[in-house]
Amino acid sequence: MTSPVVVLGVTGSIAAYKAPDIASRLVKEGIEVHVVMTAAAERFITPLTLQTLSRNPVVCASAAGRADWKPVHIELADRASLLLIAPASANVIAELALGLAGHPLAEIALATRAPLLLAPAMNGNMWHHPATQQNVITLKNRGAHFIGPGQGILACGYEGIGRLLEPVDIVAAAKALLFPAS
pLDDT tens-digit series, residues 43-72: 999 999 999 999 999 999 766 555 555 788
pLDDT score at 4:
97
- The CATH code of the domain that includes 174 is 3.40.50.1950
Inter-residue contact 157 to 148 (CB < 8 Å): no
The per-residue pLDDT for range 97-107, each reduced to its tens digit, is 999 999 999 99
Which of 12, 1, 31, 174 is CA-nearest to residue 103?
Answer: 12
* Cα gap 181→75, rounded to integer Å: 28
pLDDT score at 68:
59
pLDDT score at 80:
97
pLDDT score at 159:
87
DSSP string covering 105-162, please? HHHHHHH--S-EEEEE---HHHHHSHHHHHHHHHHHHTT-EE---EEEE-TTS-EEEE
pLDDT score at 181:
82
pLDDT score at 129:
98
pLDDT score at 157:
83
DSSP 3-state of 88: strand
pLDDT score at 153:
85
**60 belongs to the catalytic site:** no
pLDDT score at 177:
98
Catalytic residue, chosen from 156, 168, 172, 176, is: 156
Sites in the chain below the pLDDT cut of 50: none
pTM: 0.95
Task: Give the domain range for residue 26.
Answer: 5-178
How many domains, the chain? 1
